Amino acid sequence: MHKHHSALGLATTLSTGITGYEIAKQRPVQAVTLVRPHAAARAARFFTEKFPGRTMYAVKANPSPDLLRVLWDAGVTHYDVASIGEVRLLSRTLPGATLCLMHPVKAEEVIREAYHEHGVRVFSLDSLEELDKIVRATGGAEDLTLCVRLQVSSDYSKLSLGAKFGASGADVKPLLMATRQVADSLGVCFHVGSQAMTPDAYAFAMDRVRAAIVEAGVVVDVVDVGGGFPSHYPGMEPPALERYFDTIHRAFENLPISYSAELWAEPGRALCAEYSSVVVRVEKRRGNELYINDGAYGALFDAAHLGWRFPVTLLREPDSRAKEMAFSFYGPTCDDLDRMAGPFHLPADVQAGDYLEIGMLGAYGSAMRTAFNGFGSDETVVVEDEPMVSMYTEAAPRVAANVVKL
């Protein structure tokens, strides 16, 4: 991994072929990932200091070992893992971390290895069948924290996570009662969906938690509000995170729960979105379509398949004075699906050979990468400048000589 001061500095050295590291002999053919450890550390400190409970990082958002170490150093000690692969990764990378296996449907062999070999004591479930698996796989262990996942609405979030998992209706009461009988600590958890755009998403979910606890008449030791905490993207400007925290805290204080009950959260996107971006080269322009060297099978999966818009800037010195216009992108593969509709706003004179930075790709960008069609790059550079936008600073979105403001 190399270090550079800024995206512009990287683009300038790449375009001239003069670099302090070897990306290519002359011009970079493949995309280059920029990482900003200071941005991830700032996000982690924000959560650990201001969220009124325990912060667990949802590893699926970005499982980079370097990022995991940054979050650990910034105070995140608990990690939401979903697979035995993630359990093993965390055990190797952060042997002192507390792992919580929060996937509600797991192979019995996974539960067994997680418990007996990696010290996992926290498990999520949403059915009596899953509860039976956990009991069998752990040998009837008496030191378990078991979190029953409830199905809640994703209506207030950009991406729904309410269809696949979660107990609902008449199943909730018997599941809570049965889990209480075998759990050392009983938890209730939920997920409001990814990129929740209003704190009300959590308020309504907590109402569902209250009703479930009252109906089952059980003592609850943990309330886990899951993830969904938002980041900034073009067209998605959420309220301040403090408002989410305040709403959650008020709802938690009014729940009929144990006096010593704990409040947990599982931020993923919110901790890592600002961690990385990607520098790409324009290989061809066709009207308002730009052919770039990363795409749907690389860091831009969400842009292609979910229509997600990411901030984008032209890295050129001197900066362009052309009026901006809307572009769409094609990625490097031979697949027509390798298209990002955008719109992505850039100066109208952008052309082949220009470099672009596409921001806010720390969440899911790296995790979704493939080497389909032989394209892809592991080249990573540490930079010290600020991300294009931030939920954690009072500064305006980054505007410099090389940046076109969206």
Alpha-carbon gap, residue 154 to 240, rounded angstroms: 20
Alpha-carbon gap, residue 130 to 261, rounded angstroms: 24
Q: What Cα–Cα distance (Å) separates residue 155 from each residue in 25, 93, 144, 198, 248?
A: 50, 36, 32, 10, 17
For tokens 């752990």, the residue is: 138
Take residue 64 and report the two structure tokens written for it.
């980079």
Q: What SS3 state is found at 368?
A: coil
- Yes or no: say if 111 and 81 are a contact pair by the CB < 8 Å rule: no
Q: How many residues does the chain have?
A: 406
Residue (of 106, 100, 20) closest to 56 by Cα position: 100
Within 8 A by CB and 6+ apart from 213, the residues are 176, 188, 220, 255, 256, 257
H or E element at residue 52: none
Catalytic residues: 334
Amino acid at site 260 = S
Q: What Cα–Cα distance (Å) separates residue 1 from each residue in 40, 167, 221, 224, 379?
A: 17, 44, 43, 36, 7
